[in-house]
Amino acid sequence: MVLLAAVMRADERLLKSELTYVKQFFVQTFGEEFAQERMILFRDILQQDYALRDVCRQIKRNMDHPARLEMIHLLFGLAQADGRIDDTEIAVIGRIAGYLGISADDLGSIQAMFVQDSQGAYHILEVDPQADEKTIKKAYHRMANRYHPDKVNHLGPEFLTLAEEKFKAINEAYQKIRAERGI
């Protein structure tokens, strides 16, 4: 909840669309009653400052790497809840990713799902646009394995949904590159 609050406060605007996103996440993951209780706590967290680095260290110790990747995915989803992702939100998510031990390549891959650019498909696969067909295929298989939904199945349906979105983006990126290159 502290990480969600940090992203919400990043652009200095607390929007209803962002609160709705958080509540939907809680409802889908834990149920309506839990969500109601946690939203009260979450509103208090929004009013306080926490040592982000310390919170991230604790999360890193208690959450495996695939789950931390899905956390970053969740934070980008929250940042996009208002229809656009502000540079300050990207910066906060970048800091969080660093504290969580997420590599710059992994962060860029997830970010490319939300912030589109002309090289987005290559960023998603973490491969250079000049890479050869064999390298691209290897990157696709590596990423598909890394982000396979089965790796976060134990975290519940909401994280599984996020993993499925990432897995779908990886497949779409690979298909886009293949079509682009006539592979």
- What is the domain partition of the chain in residue ranges? 2-181
- 104 vs 16: CA distance, rounded Å: 31
Give me 94's structure tokens: 């970048």
- Are 75 and 9 spatial neighbours (Cβ–Cβ below 8 Å)? no
100, 58 contact by CB (below 8 A): no
Task: Render 30-56 in DSSP notation, one character per residue.
Answer: H-HHHHHHHHHHHHHHHTS---HHHHH
Is 29's pLDDT higher than 70? yes
Cα distances from 93 to residues 82, 110, 152, 173, in angstroms, run: 16, 11, 20, 23
Name all contacts of 85-94 with Cβ < 8 Å and 24+ positions apart.
85/114, 85/115, 86/10, 86/11, 88/10, 88/11, 88/12, 89/7, 89/10, 89/11, 90/115, 91/10, 92/6, 92/7, 92/10, 93/7
65, 56 contact by CB (below 8 A): no
Q: How confident is the model at residue 117 (pLDDT cuts 50, 70, 90)?
A: low
Give me the helix-helix angle, 52-62 and 2-10, nearest 10°: 140
Q: If you average pLDDT over every residue of the chain, what do you get?
A: 88
Higher-pLDDT residue of 169, 90: 90
Kindly report, residue by residue over 60-102, the tens digit of the pLDDT: 999 999 889 989 999 999 999 988 888 899 999 999 999 999 9
How large is the average pLDDT for residues 43-59?
A: 91
Task: Identify the pLDDT of residue 95.
Answer: 96
pLDDT score at 48: 87
Query: Which residues have CB under 8 Å from 23's CB, separation 6+?
Result: 35, 39
Mean pLDDT of 21-37: 87
- Write down the pLDDT at residue 5: 92
* Predicted confidence (pLDDT) at residue 118 exceeds the cutoff of 60: no
Is the model more confident about 114 or about 155? 114
pLDDT of residue 180: 82
